[in-house]
Amino acid sequence: MTRTSVSIAALSAPLATFAGAVWADDANWALLDQIEVEEIITDTSYEVRKVFPSAIENGVEQFDISGYVVPLYSETDIKEFILISDMGFCPFCGDPEHGTSLQVTMADPLPGYVEGERITLRGALQTVTDSETWQTTVLTNARAL
């Protein structure tokens, strides 16, 4: 079961990156979709366990991915948004049937953003290890290719 949710607290979780690798975009959505997430609820505790594929478990310094921008805020020069692989996916539905999404923070505001236009980005993929959120990864310091 996987689900991605936006959590500001998750952004401050301890993160590590793997230096030196540049990953091709073709398989990256499938790679993100391989992350296993298990929610464990007891009478006294709540935990979200995540298992990352070995290729990304320590993050990736240069990660290329293409998708569609879903703005988080109504603004002209967007710097934070959700990237989705398919325009038919709803990143806020919390249902795995709606596909994987990726929270992105740009190095600089995204110039000339056109709603519905496909974009390719390169940034640092970081794993979110916070055990209280379903969010699994973020792409930081991204730049449009």
pLDDT at position 72 = 82
pLDDT at position 103 = 94
pLDDT at position 21 = 44
Question: Is the dihedral angle over the CA atoms 120, 108, 55, 29 positive or is it negative?
Answer: negative
* CATH number of the domain located at residue range(s) 8-144 in this protein: 2.40.50
pLDDT at position 10 = 35
Is the pTM higher than 0.85? The answer reads no
Cα-only R_g, the chain:
15
Q: Which runs of E-coded beta strand occur in 99-136?
A: 101-106, 118-127
pLDDT one-digit tens code per residue, 11-65: 333 333 333 344 445 689 999 999 999 999 999 999 999 999 999 999 999 999 9
pLDDT at position 15 = 31
Q: Is 54 helix (H, G, I), strand (E, B) or coil?
A: coil
Q: Mean pLDDT highest for which of 25-34, 67-76, 82-91, 115-124?
A: 115-124
- Distance set, CA 76 to CA 27, 110, 114, 127, 140 (Å): 31, 9, 10, 29, 20
Distance (Å, whole) CA 42 – CA 115: 42
Per-residue confidence band for 77, with pLDDT thresholds at 50, 70 and 90:
confident
- Distance set, CA 120 to CA 1, 70, 100 (Å): 27, 14, 16
